[in-house]
Structure 1
Amino acid sequence: MCLIVFAYDCHPNYRLILVANRDEYFRRPTEKAHFWETHPWVLAGRDLEMLGTWMGITRSGRLAALTNFRDPSLLLTDPKSRGALVSNFLCLNEPPIGYLRNVNSYQGSYNPFNLIVGDPSCLLYYSQQTAETLELKPGIYGLSNHLLDTSWPKVSESKQKLARYIESRPTIETDPLFDILLDEEKANDRDLPNTGIDYELEKLLSSIFIRGTVYGTRSSTVLLIARNNLVTFREKSFSPGQKSFVEVVHEFEVADLGCK
């Protein structure tokens, strides 16, 4: 994922309200979100090149999501696939805090990343750049290709839009959440981050939704976990340069799990 914005444990009727965009090269083969044949409890899209994923949830309520940390100077010559960090958590039954301790012990094998893991009652954030794990408190968070809540324009804007929408609204609809993810407005030059890439690419990547023909927003996802444990997972997948999409929707109930 390249943008994840979520309200965690701060709404009377929802444990989690999450919206996310995955930005990637269109040539990279991908499966849309589905329950995996090899691990039927895992609901996630799948990268068919390395067989990992960027975001998913299980029938028992375990969830994970990942963003890349953008700094070309830190890239490795032969890294492991970061998508495995998400898929391994979803496929295994290791407690979240123990899983992140293990990740920390071998994090140098991967290109820079941010990782969120947990369940509806507890979310943990890990940054490879700080090698620290943070247990998230109730609130609204945003994560792109830097550290959690870095005030990039796309992060700040999407957090504000999410906060405005869910305020004093007992029932959350998914369509207005997708509207947040479709914003193509680019940041002003003075507000662009400096991540070590050229100006034209930095400008392109500054919008919430990136519409391109080679690289861009491949999918948008809305994930709701209600306090009655009903999960709504809705994903829209986009073709290069097109406004049309293919949509999948899944709903199921999870057990009321705590953080281990």
Structure 2
Amino acid sequence: MCLIVFAWRVIPGVPVIACANRDEFYDRPATPAGPWPDNPDIIAGRDLQGGGSWMGVTRHGPHGPRFAALTNIRAPAEQRDDAPTRGALVADYLKGDLDAPAYLARIAPGAGAYNGFNLVLGDRDGLYWFSNRGDADARNGKALEPGIYGISNGLLDAPWPKVLRTKAAFASLLLQGAPEEAYFEMLADTTRAPDLRLPDTGVPIEVERQLSAVCIEIPGYGTRTSTVVKLYADAEPELHERILQPCAEKAA
């Protein structure tokens, strides 16, 4: 997952509303979001190369329905080929029975073995952000206050153009009570940011330009899926996904 905006306890009756884009190489195999055959309580996409997931929910569980999402932190100079797959952090939480604080306490000691990541997880009662590249609060798991948040491939609410633009659009749609289609339209924005506003993540400026769009279109790589998730206070969660492979289709 490379962009996620989410509202925590902003809309009555819907503790979590999240909209996200997953950016990945087109040739990396994955299954669409749906119930997992080996654990049908989980609704999520599945990375068939690493075996984990980038975003998902559970229908039930000892703590009620749960939500988890992950973004990678873009830092090529720190990237290690032998690091464990980060998607396991989402999958293990959704498969397990630990609540969010207990799960984060369990993974925190070994989090440095992974390449950089952000993890957002919780249930109807609490939502947490964890990162192995943030400050002490992030590395211990930060309980989030009610509000609207955004993460791309930096830390929580880092002022990247795509994060600022999408958070503003998301807030407007929430206030309007907009239909689901409007959220997918928001996630389909291919506008690239001006050079003066681009973050410096250690990749060439041409790549920073390409990656600055909400919906990325690069030959061989881009936004694979857009997802809208709602975790309700008194009903089963909803997860709706759209599969997008524009560059792969154009190259075919």
TM-score for both structures, normalised by structure 2: 0.92
Gaps of 5+ in 1: 245-260
Contact 2:104 2:140 in 1 (8 A): no
Cα 1:209–1:20 shift into 2, 3 Å: same
Aligned to 2:221: 215
Aligned to 2:67: 63
Aligned to 2:46: 46
Aligned to 2:14: 14
Cα 1:95–1:230 shift into 2, 3 Å: closer
Given candidates 154, 163, 177, the residue that maps to 1:155 is 163
Contact 1:45 1:55 in 2 (8 A): yes
The two structures, once aligned, show a CA RMSD in angstroms of 1.5
Equivalents in 1 of 2:13, 2:95: separation in Å?
28
Number of matched residues?
242
Shift in Å at residue 167 of structure 1? 1.1
AA aligned to 1:158 is T
Shift in Å at residue 213 of structure 1? 2.5
Once superposed, which parts of structure 1, at least 4 consecutive aligned residues long, lie more than 4 Å away? none
AA aligned to 1:84 is A
Aligned to 1:93: 97
Aligned to 2:122: 118
Equivalents in 2 of 1:25, 1:128: separation in Å?
24
Gaps of 5+ in 2: none
Equivalents in 1 of 2:22, 2:204: separation in Å?
21
Contact 1:26 1:240 in 2 (8 A): no
Greater share of residues in helix: 2
Contact 2:216 2:222 in 1 (8 A): yes
Matching of residues 70-149 of structure 1 within 5 Å: 70-130=74-134, 131-149=139-157
Cα 1:54–1:165 shift into 2, 3 Å: same
AA aligned to 1:144 is S
Q: Identity of paired residues, percent? A: 40
Shift in Å at residue 8 of structure 1? 1.0
Given candidates 199, 204, 228, the residue that maps to 2:205 is 199
AA aligned to 2:190 is E
SS in 2 for 1:185: coil
Shift in Å at residue 15 of structure 1? 1.6
